[in-house]
Structure 1
Amino acid sequence: MGFSVNTNIGAMAALQSLNATNKGLDTVQSRINTGLSVASTKDDSASFTIAQTLRGDMGGLKAVNSSLARAKSTVDVAVTGAEQISDIMNQMKAKALEASDAGLDADSRTAIGKDFDALKEQINTIIDSSEFNGTNLLKASGGTVAALQSTDTTAAALTVANQDFGAVVTALGTTFTDAATAKTMVTTLETQSKAVNTKLSTLGSASRKIDGQISFTSKLSDVIEGGIGNLVDADLAKESARLQALQVKQQLGLQALSIANQAPQSIQSLFR
């Protein structure tokens, strides 16, 4: 093509190249600012859609963790109360055994009986106090625990049954009045202590099960978060290097455009 002041092919090519460089700079700066290589569906529809689905799963896992945490706290409160009740029943057994001594005088046995009754009342207080978030697993009317185990709404809930420690207190009946009834109380306490230990074991197993589910959910959440990062996170080291390269290209592009714009001026020399 000959010389022309109407059409500057070199300038148009230089401008196209500069525009492409500027567009690349905008993309890199966006990635550096957000830390994301896929910040919107316009960047990569497939990756963005997958990432959005995984983010939804993450939100569901947070709800599961929250549900499990509430269940864990409820069960742990019950475990603490049950352990205390177990300790008190051991003390009550010692009191009943002491009162079963036939050589003990009536006043001493009465004093021991008062201590025994105080311990029994303490059990009732512990049962009434072992409540968390409106649920009391040691009280018959305290309800049960049902927690989410996964984001699958059709999956069975993680449940912990009510242990009704009040039944244990009821089984103890009235306090002893003489050596014979004290011996009977010792036998009763041995039976009820076994029942308490069984209930305590049930609560302990439930607590460990919840701990295991919480640990699994936490690990699953970390894996999904890592998967999202693999899909959409920007490699800032590479983006930094790309930014410097594009900045150099931008400067060269500006110089090339300037040179191309000056080319038509050489036509003036033809008319001298």
Structure 2
Amino acid sequence: MPFNSVNTNVGAMVALQNLNATNTELANTQTRINTGKKVANAKDNGAIWAIAQNQRATSGALNAVKESLSRGQSTVDVAISAGETISDLLLQMKEKALAATDTTLDTNSRTALNDDFVALRDQIGKAIANAEFNGANMLKAGGVQIQSLANANGTSVISVAAQDLSLTNGLGNTGVSTTASISTISLATDMVTAVDLAITKVSSVLSTLGTGSKSLASHLSFISKLQDAIDAGVGNLVDADLAKESAKLQALQTKQQLGVQALNIANQSPQTIMSLFRG
């Protein structure tokens, strides 16, 4: 190997190689600090990047699951609110029906009670018709069954069945229909029984809807935690330790300065050959 040559400066070559390696490592460190990631693209680490991308896809899909669950819960909660209103109206209707069974009532009093009863009955119809969220009504005839997404693959759903409380079907086949009346003692007597059945029916419906809403809320909470865990896992895979990178940056900057000095020294070595030719 020509140690004393003006054509080949081995020392400068080695110094330049080391300096280039330091500059490359320094650039990588600066990129990690700028992006906050140790794996920013497939070139950094193909396997880890692919795993992270798959998990990002799952996390993104869980946003749709959360939206579906929230929408379903809101629809059920609207139905519950309507059901509670119907239950309160039925309590008042029972009071009117029971009062109308009194045989001593005169015609005007019975008519007044019946008018109140009919008004309450019609209010139930309005409550059912307006128990709608995002175009879905669970209480009307042929109501919508809630089927909310339960996983990121769309292969599982959480269902909450529709509950028919429409007056056209006798409020759950209890006898409280669109023509319900207490205009006579006989009708009033029958209606006391029918309203009792309706109150029981509505209470059962509210229990079912309440359980469904709770299931949706519980799963929504789980999905939120699952998404957070996935996002944290992705961060563990690709995020850079900025404290470590900061310390490394300072070390590499110092190493770069020393490399430049070493290259300058190596570049000066051919000049020593001139001393061999001095007399």
TM range, normalised to the smaller chain? over 0.9
Alignment of 1:256-267 (within 5 A): 256-267=262-273
- The equivalent residue for 1:203 is 209
Please give the alpha-carbon distance, in whole angstroms, between the structure 2 residues aligned to 1:88 and 1:40. 63
- The equivalent residue for 1:82 is 83
Instruction: Give the alignment's Cα RMSD to 1 decimal.
Output: 1.6
**Letter aligned with residue 181 of structure 1:** L
Please give the alpha-carbon distance, in whole angstroms, between the structure 1 residues aligned to 2:225 and 2:145. 27
Change in CA separation of 1:180 and 1:230 when aligned onto 2, cut-off 3 Å? same
CA contact (8 A) 2:103 2:185 kept: yes
Please give the alpha-carbon distance, in whole angstroms, between the structure 1 residues aligned to 2:3 and 2:200. 107
Tell me the alpha carbon deviations over residues 181-216 of structure 1, each in whole angstroms, 9 at most, x when there is no partner.
Answer: 323212211111101111111111110111111111
CA contact (8 A) 2:143 2:163 kept: no
**Letter aligned with residue 121 of structure 1:** D
CA contact (8 A) 2:73 2:217 kept: yes
Q: CA deviation at 1:168?
A: 4.2
Q: Tell me, yes or no, if structure 1 residue 158 matches structure 2 residue 164.
A: no
CA contact (8 A) 1:168 1:196 kept: no
Please give the alpha-carbon distance, in whole angstroms, between the structure 2 residues aligned to 1:126 and 1:50. 51
What is the TM-score when the length of structure 2 is the normalising length? 0.92
Q: CA deviation at 1:98?
A: 2.4
Q: CA deviation at 1:35?
A: 1.0
Please give the alpha-carbon distance, in whole angstroms, between the structure 1 residues aligned to 2:151 and 2:170. 35
Please give the alpha-carbon distance, in whole angstroms, between the structure 2 residues aligned to 1:249 and 1:79. 70
Alignment of 1:123-272 (within 5 A): 123-155=124-156, 157-166=157-166, 167-169=169-171, 171-173=175-177, 174-272=180-278
Q: Tell me, yes or no, if structure 1 residue 120 matches structure 2 residue 116.
A: no
Please give the alpha-carbon distance, in whole angstroms, between the structure 1 residues aligned to 2:209 and 2:218. 14
Is there any run of 5+ residues in structure 1 with no aligned partner, and where? none
Helix, strand or coil for the counterpart of 1:172?
coil
Identical columns (%): 52
CA contact (8 A) 1:39 1:232 kept: yes
Please give the alpha-carbon distance, in whole angstroms, between the structure 1 residues aligned to 2:14 and 2:71. 66
**Letter aligned with residue 230 of structure 2:** I
Q: CA deviation at 1:267?
A: 2.1
- The equivalent residue for 1:98 is 99
- The equivalent residue for 1:33 is 34
- The equivalent residue for 1:21 is 22
Q: CA deviation at 1:179?
A: 3.6
Please give the alpha-carbon distance, in whole angstroms, between the structure 1 residues aligned to 2:153 and 2:50. 20
Q: CA deviation at 1:241?
A: 0.6
What is the TM-score when the length of structure 1 is the normalising length? 0.94
**Letter aligned with residue 99 of structure 2:** E
CA contact (8 A) 1:140 1:162 kept: no
